[in-house]
């Protein structure tokens, strides 16, 4: 009797009679990406080439992880995303986190910084230091990393449109510390395509924005070889409303999205960046090992584990088959994970500790390289020191107490996990083919395809909450009357005036002729073909501000205005 015959007999004589007597909770069980979840994976659903598709850790196609030893050698980097108020306040938080056992820094910038404005620009009024740290000059950056040796710590900076300027400041501060750029380790997000799709902190139109990105690729290849030049982000695509499949496909081709969308859209963006770098004259193996990714870890536990595994495998195939990569490092998808901010609830906020723990565990079982765990109070306000400590301890307990880090890819071979991994890869591939058919990620953004797909997924997710097809504990079920008693973090409004005073003093200390000469040099370089990074570094070393540099580039390139696809 074959395995399938045994299965059919079980279904007919055992399972079907049972659900007739005691109906299941739902007519159909699906993941967030609408992938059907069978009660039991049948033999005919098991991939006959499973072992070949799985491979082994550290070998193509990297389904089971990019390193041969994974966490048996070293745990993932515990990198808590932090930044608020002034550079002094954020510096204190960074040093606190490092003292608590954090192993990498992650900088959150305020909104004016993210869109290239100084703290004293009228457009920044009321926003300085609110959602991140305010950085307008090299002096702010020096303060931010005071007493933190930049050759001893890796730093991730979540910055996109003005990423070149913030990277230049970091390099210049390291130089002042006596640290050569070749010794720096870290990441800039630098993913402008997902800003057009999901997040909105863009400055320039797509063409000059892509030129800035490829300039960074080329500069860092020689001058900052240990730096990840981009973190191609599915996280914000997922937060905007995509599915997990869309997250991967659009990220590789390039909110509460699905897992399939997250993968698909992320990889579509990656393809666009790789093609732009090749067009700029670089060989794929020159820059691919400096590409990194940033994914969301959401609530559907097994789907999230499968999503990360599918993303690694699909990316390896794309790099080998589509781009002809020869280096093993070029085939490896290395990624940072953040737990899902959009799943945090203001109601019963202590429940968020449980949500974050499950999401973090999924990221670890999926083989992440670094991880941020959200704090329980982030749906209410900026996290306090206490809640940040609990979030970090969550990672440490998973790493040191749970035992899950002692075996590599411990869920491999689970019929359901392998079925979901295969299904996500298949569906993400189909999305990427659709994006290719309309001319690639940039065209799919310009014609609204990706945005509309995410909006539809987000709309369906909201409907599922409203009709209680999906349950969020404390929100649409199991509500209680409560008074929130958690400690809150408040930003002193005086930060804005202090930043204005610092900028006035900085401008008064400069030679106006040097400033004018450098701005003219920046404009000339932006109008030509030379790499912009050296002149931007020269500008920040001579105390030109973020806003002055970005405004000069606005003068040359103009600003992007998003079309309305509704």
Question: Is residue 535 pLDDT above 60, yes or no?
Answer: yes
- Report the share of the chain in percent with pLDDT over 70: 96
Q: Compute how many other C-beta atoms are within 10 angstroms of the C-beta atom of residue 127.
A: 19
Q: Which residues contact 46 (CB under 8 A, 6 or more apart)?
A: 415, 418, 419
When pLDDT is cut at 50, 70 and 90, the band that residue 254 belongs to is very low
pLDDT at 549: 98
Average pLDDT over residues 218-229: 97
Residue 71 pLDDT > 60: yes
Residue pair 193/441 in contact (Cβ under 8 Å)? The answer is yes
* Tokens describing residue 323: 């781009």
User: In the prediction, which pLDDT does 255 show?
Assistant: 39
Distance CA 363, CA 126 (A): 36
- CA dist 487 and 484 (Å) reads 9
Q: Which residue has the tokens 């429940």?
A: 351
Does pLDDT of 250 surpass 70? Answer: no
pLDDT above 70 for 187 = yes
Contact 429, 314 (CB under 8 A): yes
Residue 48 has a pLDDT of: 82
As a whole number of angstroms, the distance between CA 463 and CA 327 comes to 46
pLDDT tens per residue across span 78-97? 998 888 889 999 999 999 99
On average, the pLDDT of the chain sits at 93
Residue-level pLDDT at 566: 58
Query: Bridge-partner residues for 268, per DSSP?
Result: 253
pLDDT at 66 over 50: yes
Residue 97: CA atoms inside 13 Å, Cβ hemisphere, count? 32
pLDDT at position 249 is 53
Return the pLDDT at 242: 58
Exposed e or buried b for every residue in 142-180, given b needs 16+ CB within 10 A? bbbbeebebeebbbbbbbbbbbbbbbbbbbbbbeeeebe
CB atoms within 10 A of CB 325: 21
Three-point CA angle 556, 107, 190, nearest 5°: 40
Q: Is the pLDDT confidence value at 251 over 50?
A: no
The pLDDT assigned to 456 comes to: 85
Predicted confidence band of residue 488 (pLDDT cuts 50, 70, 90): confident
Q: Is 95 helix (H, G, I), strand (E, B) or coil?
A: helix
pLDDT band at 246 (very low <50, low <70, confident <90, very high): low
Q: What is the maximal distance between C-alpha atoms in the chain?
A: 88
Whether a cis peptide bond, with omega within 30° of 0, leads into 295 is no
The whole-number average pLDDT for the span 238-255 is: 57
CB 107 within 8 A of CB 156: yes
**Per-residue confidence band for 244, with pLDDT thresholds at 50, 70 and 90:** low
313-315-318 Cα angle (round to 5): 115
Average pLDDT over residues 140-159: 97
Rounded average pLDDT over 488-515: 93
Q: What pLDDT is stored for residue 462 in this prediction?
A: 82
Instruction: Give 432-477 as a DSSP string.
Output: HHHHHHTTSHHHHHHTTHHHHHHHHHHHHHHHHHHTTSS--BTTTB
Q: Could you read off the pLDDT of 323-372 as tens digits, one per residue?
A: 999 999 999 999 999 999 989 999 999 999 999 999 999 999 999 999 99
The pLDDT of 411-421, averaged and rounded, is 96
Most confident range (mean pLDDT) of 98-107, 241-250, 451-460 is: 98-107
pLDDT of 45 > 60? The answer is yes
pLDDT confidence bin for 565, thresholds 50/70/90:
low
pLDDT of residue 404: 97
Can you give the pLDDT at residue 50? 80
Q: What is the pLDDT of residue 432?
A: 95
SS3 531: coil
3-class DSSP state of 243: strand
Q: Tens digits of per-residue pLDDT, 286-325?
A: 999 999 999 999 999 999 999 999 999 999 999 999 999 9
Tokens of 413: 């071979």
Q: How far is CA 14 from CA 7, 10, 21, 249, in A?
A: 10, 5, 11, 39
């Amino acid at each position: 009797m074959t395995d399938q015959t045994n299965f059919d007999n079980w279904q007919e004589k055992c399972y079907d009679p049972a659900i007739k007597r005691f109906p299941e909770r739902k007519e159909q069980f699906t993941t967030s990406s609408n992938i059907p979840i069978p009660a039991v994976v049948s033999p005919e659903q098991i991939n006959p080439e499973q072992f070949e598709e799985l491979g082994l850790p550290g070998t193509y196609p990297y389904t089971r992880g990019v390193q041969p030893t994974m966490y048996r050698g070293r745990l993932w980097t515990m990198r808590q995303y932090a930044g608020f108020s002034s550079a002094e306040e954020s510096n204190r938080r960074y040093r606190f986190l490092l003292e608590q056992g954090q192993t990498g820094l992650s900088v959150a910038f305020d909104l004016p910084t993210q869109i290239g404005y100084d703290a004293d620009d009228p457009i920044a009024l009321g926003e300085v230091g609110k959602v991140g740290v305010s950085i307008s000059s090299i002096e702010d950056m020096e303060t931010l990393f005071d007493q933190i040796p930049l050759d001893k710590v890796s730093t991730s900076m979540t910055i996109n449109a003005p990423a070149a300027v913030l990277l230049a400041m970091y390099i210049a501060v390291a130089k002042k510390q006596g640290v050569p750029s070749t010794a720096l380790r870290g990441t800039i997000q630098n993913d402008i395509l997902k800003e057009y799709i999901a997040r909105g902190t863009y400055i320039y139109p797509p063409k000059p924005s892509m030129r800035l990105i490829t300039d960074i690729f080329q500069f860092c290849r020689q001058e900052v070889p240990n730096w990840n030049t981009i973190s191609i982000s599915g996280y914000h695509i997922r937060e905007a409303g995509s599915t997990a499949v869309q997250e991967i496909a659009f990220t590789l081709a390039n909110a509460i999205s699905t897992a399939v969308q997250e993968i698909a859209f992320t990889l579509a963006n990656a393809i666009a960046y790789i093609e732009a770098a090749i067009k700029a004259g670089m060989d794929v193996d020159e820059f691919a090992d400096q590409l990194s990714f940033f994914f969301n870890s959401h609530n559907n536990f097994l789907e999230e584990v499968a999503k990360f595994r599918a993303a690694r495998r699909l990316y390896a195939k794309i790099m080998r088959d589509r781009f002809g990569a020869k280096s093993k490092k070029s085939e490896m998808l290395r990624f940072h994970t953040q737990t899902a901010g959009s799943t945090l609830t203001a109601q019963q906020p202590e429940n968020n500790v449980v949500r974050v723990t499950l999401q973090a565990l999924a990221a670890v079982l999926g083989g992440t390289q670094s991880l941020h765990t959200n704090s329980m109070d982030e749906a209410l306000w900026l996290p306090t020191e206490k809640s940040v400590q609990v979030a970090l301890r969550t990672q440490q307990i998973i790493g040191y107490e749970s035992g899950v880090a002692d075996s590599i890819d411990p869920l491999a071979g689970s019929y359901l996990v392998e079925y979901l991994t295969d299904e996500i890869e298949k569906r993400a591939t189909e999305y990427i083919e659709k994006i290719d058919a309309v001319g690639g990620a940039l065209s799919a953004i310009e014609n609204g395809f990706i945005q509309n797909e995410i909006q539809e997924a987000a709309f369906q997710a909201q409907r599922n909450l409203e009709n209680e097809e999906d349950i969020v504990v404390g929100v649409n079920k199991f509500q209680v009357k409560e008074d929130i008693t958690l400690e809150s973090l408040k930003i002193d409004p005086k930060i804005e005036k202090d930043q204005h005073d610092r900028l006035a003093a900085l401008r008064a200390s400069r030679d106006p002729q040097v400033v004018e000469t450098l701005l003219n040099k920046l404009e000339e370089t932006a109008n030509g073909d030379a790499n912009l990074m050296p002149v931007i570094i020269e500008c920040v070393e001579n105390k030109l501000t973020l806003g002055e540099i970005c405004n000069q580039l606005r003068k040359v390139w103009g600003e992007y205005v998003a079309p309305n696809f509704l």
